[in-house]
Amino acid sequence: MTETILTRPAPAADAGPLDDRFWDLVEDRFRRIVTDRPEVGTFLGIHSGDSRLPDGSRDALLAEIAAEGDHLAAIEALDEAGLSESVRFERELQAHAVRRSLFDLETHRVWERRGTAMDVVGDSLFSVMSRDFAPLPERLDSLAARIAAIPAFLAASRSRLGSAPVRAWQELEIEAAGDMPTLYAEVAAAADGILADAESRRLRAAIDQATAATAAYADWVRSTLPSATDEWALGRERFDELVGLRAFDGLDSDAILAIGEEQLRKNAEGRVRTAHEIDPDASEAEVVDRIKSDHPATFEEALELYRADTARAREHLIAHGIVTVPYDERLDIIPTPEYLRTVIPFAAYFEPPKFDPSPSGIYVVTPSVGGDPNAMREHNRSSMSNTSVHEAYPGHHLQLSVAGRHPSLVRLMIDAPEFVEGWGMYSEQMMREEGFDDAPRYLLNVYTDAIWRACRMVLDVRMHRGELTVEEATHFLVDRTSFETSNARAEILRYTYTPTYQLSYLLGKVLILQLREDERRRLGPDFSLRRFHDTLLRHGSLPISFHRRLLDAAAAGADWALAVPPTMPGGRI
């Protein structure tokens, strides 16, 4: 693989003598991350490490914690007087991201309480399999080497687990290990008729060894269950600390819970009104059941409808001038790989790798969880439209396709869920406001999905403050959303190890709507919806409080705040 040239913003008009030092430090951290964690490099389109897996040991994880602390100290030590205004902003963003990383590594410590090796293995193989950045034989060569590294990686990863693993998390890892051979089989199938005999034998030998090692690893994880705990909640104090680190414009967990409960009430009332509009003589439950029953006969038909819905949404954006759609963005829509289906019960999106020569996004849709015969009800025709708006246009795919074009590696590596997921949810409402699929049956699904996300706000806070069990949370979700129980439980189990992520969806939408209203009020007749959208998207996946700071700085006359600087080459990797 050839070297990758990194990017950085061109010097600002008020460039400070320490600006380059800051960008050098950012690049040093970036190189460390993609070298130590080659699966991250693959995800970003840096393929020099595609044949490797990371060091799965506890010592490697502790070294990462130390390196993150050293980096934070180094950027904080830079004299502010030697930095331009724009680089001061980037430094604050970088410090925010690293503090969040350190909380996860040092305080939450999921890595010490849950086997996560299957996530790394699956993501490492999926990123190479699913992207067309190189000819298939070349990618299969990398895959063979990565698969050959799996036994050693799994053996090393055992050293990370502490004395009190979480039972539910370990059970998820056992389930993922059971699904992983299907991914190995997909690699083997892709190689049929492609590789020469010697290369084919090498790949199959690696798969056989990886399959045996994965089974042994699952047995080991199973052996940890007798000493496992059912305690996973952060507790109020640490949860509030995490909420503070997320920079939610001063909101604490009580305020977020109140917003969630209010949104749950308002959206439930909206769904009742809309159900009555659809059929005044039927109950809300009957109308919801009727809509969920209107689904394609097979998942293959549903997948084609998902593709058609995304195409319609994209054309609507362009025809109505709602937001700028880059001419060269690409999107693939595929079934969710089996190894991911227990953690992605509905749909998800994987962003375009910035450094690939022709980046494309991947939108995955899950046929079912555990072969649930009622799963197609979640792929009803009304819901598919809303899901495609959220995941594709103008949701995650468009947002992340535009965000990846910013030259700053700080912005590439920051991932504020309340903006990323909030933008997806905001898109659902905004597109109905702008006339896309705004008939009552579609609006019913908008309300249904908003109820789901309001439940996430309530559950995220209450579960991680230690106020609800998995069973109580599952019952709450089924009762408020009419989800099938298997899908609801899969959702809830994911919530247990991702505190503050699930609340980000609807909270982010609320914050974006408030930001839009503030800008509309400030600009009056000069407000442009398209300009507002373009401004947010091109500045990346920042916390919404940082987007607000940029808009406020621009209103105060700071020219740097909204202009995306030209890209210049940085170092190489």
- Contact between 220 and 86 under an 8 Å Cβ cutoff? The reply is no
Whole-Å CA distances, 319 to 293, 429, 433, 436, 499: 32, 18, 15, 11, 39
Residue 311 has what pLDDT?
A: 97
Q: What percent of the chain has pLDDT over 90?
A: 88
Q: For residues 482 and 446, state if they share a domain.
A: yes
Are 160 and 284 in the same domain? Answer: no
The model's pLDDT over 276-294, given as tens digits with 9 standing for 90+, comes to 999 999 999 899 899 999 9
Q: 147: domain range?
A: 5-227
Give the pair of three-digit tokens for residue 445.
Answer: 């699904």
- The yes-or-no verdict on residue 520 having pLDDT over 90 is yes
Domain membership of residue 360 (yes or no) is: yes
Asked, for residue 94, whether it belongs to a domain, the answer is: yes
Q: How many C-beta neighbours within 10 Å does residue 200 have?
A: 17
Instruction: Report residue 524 CA to chain centroid gap.
Output: 35
Distance (Å, rounded) from C-alpha 123 to C-alpha 45?
Answer: 13
Calculate Rg over the CA atoms of the chain.
Answer: 24
- Do 162 and 288 have their domain in common? no
pLDDT tops 60 at residue 303: yes
How far from each other are the two terminal CA atoms of the chain, in whole angstroms?
11
Instruction: Summarize the confidence of residues 394-410 as an average pLDDT.
Output: 97
What's the confidence (pLDDT) of residue 130? 85
Question: pLDDT band for position 371 (50/70/90)?
Answer: confident
Same domain, 342 and 214: no
What average pLDDT does range 268-281 have in this prediction?
96
Which pairs count as long-range contacts for 201-207, CB under 8 Å and 24+ apart, including other chains?
202/144, 203/140, 203/143, 203/144, 203/147, 206/144, 206/145, 206/147, 206/148, 206/150, 207/147
Model's pTM, two decimal places?
0.93
Length of the chain: 573
Which of 470, 493, 509 is where one domain is finished?
509
Same-domain check for residues 97 and 147: yes
- 544 within some domain: no
Q: Is 205 inside a domain boundary?
A: yes
Residues 503 and 413 in one domain: yes
φ, ψ for residue 333 (rounded to 5)? -120, 120
- Do residues 347 and 363 make contact, with C-beta atoms less than 8 angstroms apart? yes
What's the mean per-residue pLDDT of the chain?
94
Residues near 281 by beta carbon (within 8 Å), at least 6 away in sequence = none
Within a domain: 213: yes
pLDDT of residue 315: 98
Query: CB of 317 within 8 A of CB of 392?
Result: no
Both 357 and 453 in one domain: the answer is: yes
Instruction: Determine the Cα angle at 128 with ends 61 and 372, to 5°.
Output: 90
Distance CA 124, CA 561 (A): 37
498 alpha-carbon distance from chain centroid: 11
Q: How many CA atoms lie within 13 A of 99 on its CB side?
A: 15
Last residue of a domain, one of 202, 227, 252: 227
DSSP state of 57: S
Binned at pLDDT 50, 70 and 90, residue 343 comes out as low
Does 518 map to a domain?
A: no
Determine, yes or no, domain membership for 573. Answer: no
Query: Is the domain of 341 the same as that of 451?
Result: yes
Q: Does one domain contain both 107 and 147?
A: yes
Examine the domain organization and report whether 276 and 346 are in the same domain. yes
Assess if residue 525 is contained within a domain.
no
Is there a single domain that holds both residue 199 and residue 334?
no
Q: Range with the lowest mean pLDDT among 11-25, 267-281, 338-352?
A: 338-352
How many folded domains does the chain comprise? Answer: 2
DSSP states of 217-280: HHHHHHHTGGG-BS-----HHHHHHHHHHTT-TT--HHHHHHHHHHHHHHHHHHHHHHHHHH-T
Q: What is the pLDDT of residue 1?
A: 53
Domain boundary among 454, 476, 509: 509
Q: What angle do CA 323, 327, 332 make, to 5 degrees?
A: 95
Residues 250, 191, single domain; the answer is no
| CA dist., res. 394 & res. 392, Å (int) | 6
Q: Which residues of 289-301 are buried (b: 16+ CB within 10 A; e: fewer)?
A: eebbeebbeebee
Percent of the chain that is helix, strand, coil (3-state, to 5):
65, 5, 30
